[in-house]
Amino acid sequence: MYMTLEEAQKKIDDLTQQIHRHNYQYYVLDNPLISDYDFDMLLNELIAVEKEFPSLVLPDSPTQRVGGEITKQFKQVRHSNPMLSLANTYNEAELEEFDKRTKSALALDELEYVCELKYDGVAISLTYENGVLTQAVTRGDGLTGDDVTANVKTIRSIPLRLQGDYPDRIELRGEIIMPHASFSALNEEKETAGELPFANPRNAASGSLKLQNSAETARRNLDCFLYFVSSGHSLYKTHYESILALSVWGFKISPHIAVCKNMGEVFDFINQWEIGRKTLPFDTDGCVIKVNQYRLQEMLGFTAKNPRWAIAYKYKAERALTALNEVSYQVGRTGVVTPVANLHPVLLAGSMVKRASLHNADFMAEMDVCTGDMLYVEKGGEIIPKIVGVDKSQRKHPAIPVSFPAHCPACGALLIRNEGEAAYYCPNTKQCPPQLKAGLEHFISRKAMNIEGLGEGKIDLLFEKGLVRNFTDFYKLSYTDLLGLERLYVNENDGTERLVSFREKTAQNLLDAIQKSKQTPFDRVLFALGIRYVGENSAKKLALHFRNIDKLMTATHDQLITVDDIGDRIAESILSYFADAFHVENIDELRSFGLQFQLNDDPEQLVLSDKLQGLTFLVSGTFSTPERRKEIERLIERHGGKKSSSVTKQLSFIVAGANMGPSKLEKAVQLGIPLLSEQEFLQLLS
Ligand code: IVH
């Protein structure tokens, strides 16, 4: 069949429109107008024409849903407005308080709320330009996320092109979820293939969005619910109206939404779904209550972390009963041995539970756990489930209590327990493999030496090849040591498998990162050493007080405890750390490699934390004293943030004093940049 470019264009337009419409009928309205076969025929015809005329393939072509290989890493995209989270409440009284607080802030006696379900998946930001989906970005750290557009395009309930009347540019936010049916099918497949299953639908959705091959994402059958329209404020008066608009634009909107005139109706909604949610084909962990009127939302504004116009109500933890297979013992960085119950897999609040912490020997004894017992597992909002009880009525006799081992399960050393402490330790700190590995993980971690390029599985790889057993070994690594190393890595939490390897670029990047780490300030180097009980904060205090490692090493108990926050326990731990010649030799060696063992800066310059890393602030208006403003600016820098002198889209927050200029204020509101009072700013740092 021969076609001119013009004819091809017309054909493509025509087929695209038809397919979009049928997709909508099928996936959104659940009301197909043609058979699957006829649909496939249309799609195949489009594929054929596009193949002939590749220059005519549009980014929103339905053929793009089929998915292809994406090989590059995800691009990092900064959110135009931070993706904030919601404050949580767990009972009616807390919710009543929210209602009171909100009404009093608005000086209103009555307030209309919208109640929605809280979908338990992965937050996503979708940008449509001229009606075409151009970008989909994950929440990430709230400020920057991964560009997962190619993968999101495979989700059938997200239109690639909007219908009806839509603004030129619009950002929508919602939750991508994995329905139970897709979740079980996926896990079954994984188990048959001998792979570890995903722990819950949320992890599975998240893993599926981050796949390198979008054809695989397409197969995972994800779904999406939208809950926020960024430009809603200029188009509609209420949140509810903008959610309704979503359906006109071609989205599936959730039927689990209600406008409530008072708290009685809000509680009705919550109670109805507490039971109703069990019949839903996907996970929800609560409800979200939002002030409906946009005008009122604007008046309420935001705190540093949450909108003041919305709150989440979380349902209570769910419980399941299952059999104990065996208790295994994990050894942590400081040698603490934690008992873990390995369970007969059980579905709990939508996820398969196989392991749960038994905390320590005392807890185990108190619970009176015996081999073969039936245990109650509970899961709240947290990821790691807990054992909360034993069903003794089902106990088989004679029952043998599970006893805590006398020796380290990893290296065989005799375990010790300090007076008055619940934990058992493995004292073999210099040879016990899990302790060494965890120590290395700590050393390179973001708040310590911040050596990037050693993510999931790479430390294991270097450790097992015998290349790194000690901190000093990082600084002896060479390009040839690294090049070509590889190993299969299985993520214990979500069961995903990855080939971990060092190629030209990854090897060089790591060496560069190691080199760069030599500039890490003394307080973080001190924290990186992993001296027991010396956390980030105590390391800072010690660094500030003693100024260099030599003074710290020779400090007496009495000198140590004069430092703020340093008590007997930390002092003893520091003394015994430096009493060990092995540690002193290590430090000398690290020093010879160029690591910072003294504060070379003026204490005014000392970095206090990286709490504001990646955030940009504008300080505007007048404060209690003129010096106060300078102090705030200094605090921003000392906590790793950046200062700006004008209102731009890139700003994260404005610290607003009195009498902020009206033009600045207007622009800030327009760009949706949250304003913080001095108090709220200080809270960010606390
Ligand atoms: S509204 C400005 N509505 O819960 C805050 N969030 O902790 C906008 N979520 O990150 C959020 N269902 O991923 C909103 N109906 C819903 C939601 C919802 C789930 C998630 C969302 C957010 C987290 C809040």
Question: For residue 585, what pLDDT is reported?
Answer: 96
User: 422-426, 495-499, 509-513, 530-534 — which is least confidently predicted?
Assistant: 495-499
Q: Let me know if residue 577 belongs to a domain.
A: yes
Together in a domain, 307 and 334: no
Together in a domain, 254 and 365: no
Query: Average pLDDT in the 193-203 region?
Result: 70
Confidence of residue 451 (pLDDT cuts 50, 70, 90): very high
- Between 435 and 75, name the one with better pLDDT: 435
Confidence of residue 27 (pLDDT cuts 50, 70, 90): low
State which ligand 1 atom lies nearest to the alpha carbon of 175: 13
- 302 backbone dihedrals φ, ψ, rounded to 5°: -130, 155
Report how far ligand 1's centroid is from the alpha carbon of 119 (Å): 8
Reference 471, options 506, 430, 507, 411; nearest CA is 430
Q: Which of 85, 125, 254, 287 to mutate to test the pocket of ligand 1 (most atoms within 8 A of CB)?
A: 85
Q: Let me know if residue 358 belongs to a domain.
A: yes
Question: For residue 30, what pLDDT is reported?
Answer: 55
Q: Let me know if residue 301 belongs to a domain.
A: yes
In the numeric block, which tokens belong to residue 536?
């980030």
Question: For residue 31, what pLDDT is reported?
Answer: 65
In the numeric block, which tokens belong to residue 31?
């009301």
Using the structure block, give the residue that is written with the tokens 């375990």. Answer: 415
In the numeric block, which tokens belong to residue 560?
């140590």
Together in a domain, 188 and 332: no
Q: Which of 175, 229, 251, 306 to mutate to test the pocket of ligand 1 (most atoms within 8 A of CB)?
A: 175
Report how far ligand 1's centroid is from the alpha carbon of 85 (Å): 6
pLDDT in tens, 623-662: 877 788 888 988 888 887 888 888 888 888 889 888 888 8
Together in a domain, 490 and 537: no
> What is the length of the chain?
686
Q: Which of 80, 81, 83, 119 to mutate to test the pocket of ligand 1 (most atoms within 8 A of CB)?
A: 119
- Between 495 and 300, name the one with better pLDDT: 300
Q: At a CB cut-off of 8 Å and minimum separation 6, what does 88 contact?
A: 286, 311, 312, 313, 314, 381
Confidence of residue 361 (pLDDT cuts 50, 70, 90): confident
Reference 214, options 162, 150, 310; nearest CA is 150
Confidence of residue 352 (pLDDT cuts 50, 70, 90): confident
Q: Which of 81, 141, 227 to mutate to test the pocket of ligand 1 (most atoms within 8 A of CB)?
A: 227
User: 34-43, 156-165, 269-278, 369-378 — which is least confidently predicted?
Assistant: 34-43
Report how far ligand 1's centroid is from the alpha carbon of 509 (Å): 36
Query: Average pLDDT in the 340-362 region?
Result: 86
How far apart (Å, rounded) are the C-alpha atoms in residues 289 and 95?
Answer: 9
How far apart (Å, rounded) are the C-alpha atoms in residues 66 and 518?
Answer: 47
∠ CA 301-303-309, nearest 5°, is 45
| Atom 12 of ligand 1: nearest residue by CA position | 118
Question: For residue 67, what pLDDT is reported?
Answer: 44
Question: For residue 669, what pLDDT is reported?
Answer: 77
CA trace torsion 197, 201, 203, 206 (10° rounding):
120
Question: For residue 68, what pLDDT is reported?
Answer: 40
Report how far ligand 1's centroid is from the alpha carbon of 288 (Å): 7
pLDDT in tens, 370-392: 999 999 998 754 456 888 889 99
Ramachandran sector of residue 453 (left: φ over 0; alpha: ψ -120 to 50; beta: rest): left
- Do the strands 424-425 and 486-490 form a parallel or antiparallel pair, or are they unpaired? unpaired
Q: Let me know if residue 509 belongs to a domain.
A: yes
Together in a domain, 100 and 244: yes
Q: Which CATH number does the domain housing residue 553 bear?
A: 1.10.150.20
Q: Which CATH number does the domain housing residue 53 bear?
A: 1.10.287.610
Together in a domain, 419 and 280: no
For the residues of 370-388, what is the DSSP string, one character each?
Answer: BTT-EEEEEE-SSSS-EEE
State which ligand 1 atom lies nearest to the alpha carbon of 254: 15
∠ CA 117-118-122, nearest 5°, is 135
CB atoms within 10 A of CB 557: 11
How far apart (Å, rounded) are the C-alpha atoms in residues 539 and 685?
Answer: 17
Question: For residue 71, what pLDDT is reported?
Answer: 36
Query: Which residues form the domain of 575?
Result: 522-601
Query: Average pLDDT in the 190-214 region?
Result: 77
Query: Average pLDDT in the 461-468 region?
Result: 94
Residue 124: strand pairing partners: 138, 174
Report how far ligand 1's centroid is from the alpha carbon of 104 (Å): 24
Q: Which CATH number does the domain housing residue 679 bear?
A: 3.40.50.10190
Question: For residue 658, what pLDDT is reported?
Answer: 84
- 224 backbone dihedrals φ, ψ, rounded to 5°: -145, 140
Question: For residue 610, what pLDDT is reported?
Answer: 67
Domain count, the chain: 6
Q: Let me know if residue 69 belongs to a domain.
A: no
- Between 289 and 183, name the one with better pLDDT: 289
Q: Which listed residue (10, 11, 118, 505) is catalytic? A: 118
Cβ atoms of 554 and 606 closer than 8 Å:
no
Q: At a CB cut-off of 8 Å and minimum separation 6, what does 4 contact?
A: none
Cβ atoms of 606 and 599 closer than 8 Å:
yes
- DSSP label at residue 447: T
Taking CB atoms and a 6 Å cutoff, what residues make up the pocket around ligand 1? Answer: 84-86, 116, 118-119, 123, 175, 227-228, 288, 307, 310, 312
Alpha helices, H only, 504-567: 504-517, 522-528, 536-546, 549-553, 557-561
Together in a domain, 302 and 176: yes
Confidence of residue 269 (pLDDT cuts 50, 70, 90): very high
Query: Average pLDDT in the 460-484 region?
Result: 95
Question: For residue 618, what pLDDT is reported?
Answer: 92
Cβ atoms of 472 and 593 closer than 8 Å:
yes
SS (H, E, C) 56-81: HCCCCCHHHHHCCECCCCCCEEECCC
For the residues of 338-405, what is the DSSP string, one character each?
Answer: EEEEEEEEEEETTEEEEEEE--SHHHHHHHT-BTT-EEEEEE-SSSS-EEEEE-GGG--SS--B----
How much is the CA Rg of the chain, to the nearest whole Å? 29
pLDDT in tens, 132-152: 999 999 998 888 999 999 899
How far apart (Å, rounded) are the C-alpha atoms in residues 606 and 4?
Answer: 68
Give whichever of 17-21, 239-243, 303-307, 655-659 has the largest mean pLDDT.
239-243
How far apart (Å, rounded) are the C-alpha atoms in residues 214 and 71?
Answer: 10
Give whichever of 54-58, 102-106, 674-678 has the largest mean pLDDT.
102-106
Distance of CA 222 to the CA centre of its chain: 19
Q: At a CB cut-off of 8 Å and minimum separation 6, what does 629 contact?
A: 619, 622, 623, 657
Reference 284, options 210, 200, 398; nearest CA is 200
Q: Which CATH number does the domain housing residue 233 bear?
A: 3.30.470.30
User: 27-36, 197-206, 316-325 — which is least confidently predicted?
Assistant: 27-36
Question: For residue 488, what pLDDT is reported?
Answer: 85
69: pLDDT strictly greater than 50: no
Together in a domain, 401 and 461: no
pLDDT in tens, 94-141: 999 999 999 999 999 999 999 999 999 999 999 999 999 999 999 988
Report how far ligand 1's centroid is from the alpha carbon of 462 (Å): 40
How far apart (Å, rounded) are the C-alpha atoms in residues 323 and 300?
Answer: 50
Question: For residue 681, what pLDDT is reported?
Answer: 86
- DSSP label at residue 307: B
414: pLDDT strictly greater than 90: yes
- Do the strands 642-643 and 616-620 form a parallel or antiparallel pair, or are they unpaired? parallel
Question: For residue 66, what pLDDT is reported?
Answer: 53
In the numeric block, which tokens belong to residue 531?
């001296």
Confidence of residue 416 (pLDDT cuts 50, 70, 90): very high
Q: At a CB cut-off of 8 Å and minimum separation 6, what does 638 contact?
A: 605, 606, 607, 608, 609
Domain boundary among 519, 547, 565: 519
230: pLDDT strictly greater than 80: yes
| Atom 2 of ligand 1: nearest residue by CA position | 84
Report how far ligand 1's centroid is from the alpha carbon of 68 (Å): 30
Q: Which of 288, 309, 315 to mutate to test the pocket of ligand 1 (most atoms within 8 A of CB)?
A: 288
Query: Average pLDDT in the 576-585 region?
Result: 95
- 321 backbone dihedrals φ, ψ, rounded to 5°: -115, 130
Using the structure block, give the residue that is written with the tokens 């180097």. Answer: 525
| Atom 10 of ligand 1: nearest residue by CA position | 85
Question: For residue 24, what pLDDT is reported?
Answer: 75
pLDDT in tens, 297-317: 999 999 888 999 999 998 877
Distance of CA 639 to the CA centre of its chain: 21
How far apart (Å, rounded) are the C-alpha atoms in residues 665 and 384?
Answer: 44
In the numeric block, which tokens belong to residue 55?
């220059």
Q: Let me know if residue 307 belongs to a domain.
A: yes
Question: For residue 99, what pLDDT is reported?
Answer: 97
- Do the strands 318-331 and 337-348 form a parallel or antiparallel pair, or are they unpaired? antiparallel
Domain boundary among 488, 519, 550: 519
Confidence of residue 210 (pLDDT cuts 50, 70, 90): confident
328: pLDDT strictly greater than 70: yes
The predicted model scores a pTM of 0.51
| Atom 23 of ligand 1: nearest residue by CA position | 85
Report how far ligand 1's centroid is from the alpha carbon of 400 (Å): 47
Reference 617, options 637, 642, 638, 597; nearest CA is 642
Report how far ligand 1's centroid is from the alpha carbon of 647 (Å): 27
**pLDDT, averaged across the chain:** 87
Query: Average pLDDT in the 159-176 region?
Result: 92
Q: How far, CA to CA in Å, does 600 sit from each of 329, 450, 459, 526, 603? A: 43, 19, 31, 14, 9
Q: Let me know if residue 257 belongs to a domain.
A: yes
| 607 SS3 class | coil
Domain boundary among 468, 488, 519: 519
State which ligand 1 atom lies nearest to the alpha carbon of 122: 13
How far apart (Å, rounded) are the C-alpha atoms in residues 55 and 186?
Answer: 36
Q: Let me know if residue 609 belongs to a domain.
A: no
- DSSP label at residue 331: E
- Between 213 and 250, name the one with better pLDDT: 250
Together in a domain, 310 and 324: no
Together in a domain, 526 and 514: no
| 259 SS3 class | strand
65: pLDDT strictly greater than 80: no
Q: Is 118 a catalytic residue?
A: yes
What is the helix (H) or strand (E) element at residue 125, kind and residue range? strand 122-129
Together in a domain, 178 and 255: yes
| Atom 13 of ligand 1: nearest residue by CA position | 123
Together in a domain, 451 and 303: no
Question: For residue 381, what pLDDT is reported?
Answer: 42
Report how far ligand 1's centroid is from the alpha carbon of 168 (Å): 25
How far apart (Å, rounded) are the C-alpha atoms in residues 352 and 368?
Answer: 25
User: 32-41, 276-285, 304-313 — which is least confidently predicted?
Assistant: 32-41
> What percentage of the chain has pLDDT greater than the value 70?
93
- DSSP label at residue 236: -
DSSP 3-state helix, strand, coil percentages of the chain (rounded to 5)?
A: 40, 20, 40
Confidence of residue 598 (pLDDT cuts 50, 70, 90): very high
User: 29-43, 287-301, 566-580 — which is least confidently predicted?
Assistant: 29-43
* Sheet architecture: strand order including 642-643: 642-643, 616-620, 653-656, 675-676
How far apart (Å, rounded) are the C-alpha atoms in residues 106 and 91?
Answer: 23
